Amino acid sequence: MCACVVLVVGMVAAVNLAVPMLSASALHPSASALVWIVDTYVVVFACLVIPGGAAGDRFGRKGVLLAGLGLFAAGALLSALAPDVAVLLAGRALTGVGAAAVLPNSLAVLLHAAPADRKAATIATWASMTGIGGVAGNVGGGLVLSGGSWRWLFAAAVPAALAAAALVARTAPVSSRHDRPLDPLAALLLVAASVALLVGIVQGPEAGWGSAVVVTGFAAAAVLFTAWTLRELKAAHPLLDPRLFRIAGLRSACLGMTTVFFGMFALFYVNASFLQYAKGFGVLGTGLGIVPLTVPIVLGGRHVGHLTRRIGLDATVALAFAFVGGGLVGLSTSDAQTPYAQYAAWLVVTGIGVTLALPTLSGVIAGSLPPAQAGVGTGLQATTREFGSALGVAVAGTVMTAEFTAALPPDARGSRTVAEALARTAHAADVVTAFVEGTDAGLRVAGIAVLVLGALVAGEAWRRRPSREFPFPRDGRAPVQPRPEP
């Protein structure tokens, strides 16, 4: 199950390494198209992961997990063979559908198989795999892309998915089914609303923030999110009941998870191009360059529960956001002359925050729903993670592009990508300087956003401090929240 998690989360991170290759490829994607190549997978993944969990509850978690791995392999193959950007986006979307079936059911299978006294450790291990998967995607993606073509990245995912399917077929237990109806219209509304929101964010620098496409995107997002909410409120068996967010702890944990992954994947998107263009790293070196982020996750994950019991949940969450946001702001001070050791130190700082956040927030969310809705509960976790990832890529990419194009030398003005700018001018150093200014701005905005949103989460936790809604008991098991009244 952990291998499945690393595969689908790793693909989110790995494709960032291919952005410079894609930019210079025969596909000639624009700056906004590059963001969509990354985000199409993540958006579909995020929006369908709750229906994917519900499908596992109804049709069998093992079967849906296997079907998801098959769709993941098919989408990766289509991406590898894509003759143009449109087909590549279709392949990325299909891969996202498969990932949405894989991720929630991997944890649901684990929770079904694990003894009661091991469930907390199981959740913590699964949560840490989502963080490690991002770093593994960078390292593995760098290794594959060192072959010289972006197509190899998607081609390599095909046998990996098929191997994971073979392991699942052999080892995963069959769990009971629950008769929960599916709602395709609700899923479609959620996907459409998320795409509309990202259209507004991604197209802003290129089309203008007051342009018809941007204004229409934001307006459509508001209408579609409202329609989705009303649909779910009226449904007899909603995939995700909006009334669950009346629980302050669950609401805070979901916002916190979204915020952490917003910052982490904003970093992944910016880091991939920064190390290649500004520091001169090869694609494999770029993938390895993110490894310091994972050191705290590997070494410190098992100790987070003890720290939480020692200093309290509120303090642990506040520290997590301080480290993630502070690390991103620190990284935004880097330039082409910054020693890599200094850059790596800020990665470690960010990694400490991710280590503190993942098992803590996952435990809160997982404990908020009964076992019969394990697939939906883990789907909620995955939705917040992947939606945060999509927003992080979109916002960081948008800010980076806007700052980069504004700082270009006169003879390269109008270029939307580094490859395009380098082809137009002989002043390569000026292009790199402009790009570094763009990456610094993207990381700085992401870091400040994490600090501000983290303060909101910590503030809500402080306001409910007397009740201690989510203390971790001394046996280390995840807390269980009462469900709201129907």
Tell me the pLDDT tens digit for each residue of 319-343.
999 999 999 999 999 888 899 999 9
* SS3 state of residue 442: helix
State the angle between helix axes of 340-366 and 248-273 in degrees (0 to 180), rounded to the nearest 10: 150
With vertex at residue 95, the alpha carbon angle to CA 399 and CA 271, rounded to the nearest 5 degrees, is 30
Query: Rounded distance, CA 144 to CA 136, Å?
Result: 12
Under a CB-based contact definition with an 8 Å cutoff, are residues 219 and 241 in contact?
A: no
At 105, list the tokens: 């059911």
Query: Rounded distance, CA 262 to CA 358, Å?
Result: 13
Residue with tokens 């997982």: 366
Under a CB-based contact definition with an 8 Å cutoff, are residues 102 and 8 in contact?
A: yes
| Average pLDDT, rounded, for the chain | 84
Q: How confident is the model at residue 273 (pLDDT cuts 50, 70, 90)?
A: confident
Q: How confident is the model at residue 372 (pLDDT cuts 50, 70, 90)?
A: low
With vertex at residue 323, the alpha carbon angle to CA 320 and CA 328, rounded to the nearest 5 degrees, is 125
User: Which pLDDT does position 66 carry in this prediction?
Assistant: 95
At the fourth CATH level, the homologous superfamily of domain 2-174+239-467 is: MFS general substrate transporter like domains (1.20.1250.20)
Alpha carbon dihedral 214, 218, 224, 227, in 10-degree steps, equals: -150
* SS3 state of residue 370: coil
Q: Give Cα separations from 171 to 13, 66, 140, 174 (angstroms).
A: 27, 12, 25, 10
Instruction: Specify the pTM.
Output: 0.81
Nearest to 327 by CA among 351, 307, 311, 304: 351
Exposed / middle / buried, residue 220 (Cβ in 10 Å: 0-12, 13-18, 19+) = middle
Give the count of beta carbons closer than 10 Å to the beta carbon of residue 185: 12
Lowest mean pLDDT across 127-136, 143-152, 207-216, 400-409: 127-136
User: Which pLDDT does position 473 carry in this prediction?
Assistant: 38
Residue partners of 72: CB distance under 8 A and separation at least 6: 7, 8, 95, 98, 99, 102, 157, 161
Q: What is the 3-state secondary structure (H, E, C) of 339-368?
A: CHHHHHHHHHHHHHHHHHHHHHHHHHHHCC
Q: Give Cα separations from 311 to 114, 356, 440 (angstroms).
A: 28, 12, 34
User: Which pLDDT does position 368 carry in this prediction?
Assistant: 67
Q: Give Cα separations from 1 to 105, 127, 303 (angstroms).
A: 9, 12, 22
Between the ranges 96-100, 133-137, 308-312, where is the mean pLDDT highest?
Answer: 96-100
Domain boundaries, the chain: 2-174+239-467, 184-238
Query: Rounded distance, CA 308 to CA 352, Å?
Result: 14
Instruction: Give me the mean pLDDT over the 353-381 stretch.
Output: 74
Query: Rounded distance, CA 19 to CA 25, Å?
Result: 10
User: Which pLDDT does position 467 carry in this prediction?
Assistant: 42
